[in-house]
Amino acid sequence: MGGDIRTTVSNASGYFSITAIQPGTYTVTVEAAGFKMWKQAGIVFAQGDNRNLPQIALQVGAVNETVEITAGALTVPTDNAEISTPSQST
């Protein structure tokens, strides 16, 4: 096996295929954004195998929530021409 990594994408029904692998024992991992990784070691493939893996059900992963607060600019009323000046004490 020698660390040979193959990547594939499943179809809309969840089926996937990996072709032209050498007979041997493999570890299969399944990953999707927002879900915990599924992993199973010790899966044996023989020459020309066409087989099903156990049902794979991904669990929802940890949700990272980011709250961003942005200060807005102060608004200046533009519907009148009133001018205000600070009062001065004498």
| pLDDT tens digits, one per residue of 33-71 | 888 888 888 888 888 777 777 788 888 876 554 556 555
Tokens 């024992």: give the residue: 25
Provide φ and ψ at 64, rounded to 5°: -100, 125
Task: Parse the chain into domains and list their residue ranges.
Answer: 1-72
Percent of the chain with pLDDT over 90: 0
| Fold observed for domain 1-72 | Immunoglobulin-like (2.60.40)
Q: Give the pTM.
A: 0.56
Tokens of 10: 């499943």
List the Cα angle 33/10/52 in 5-degree steps. Answer: 120
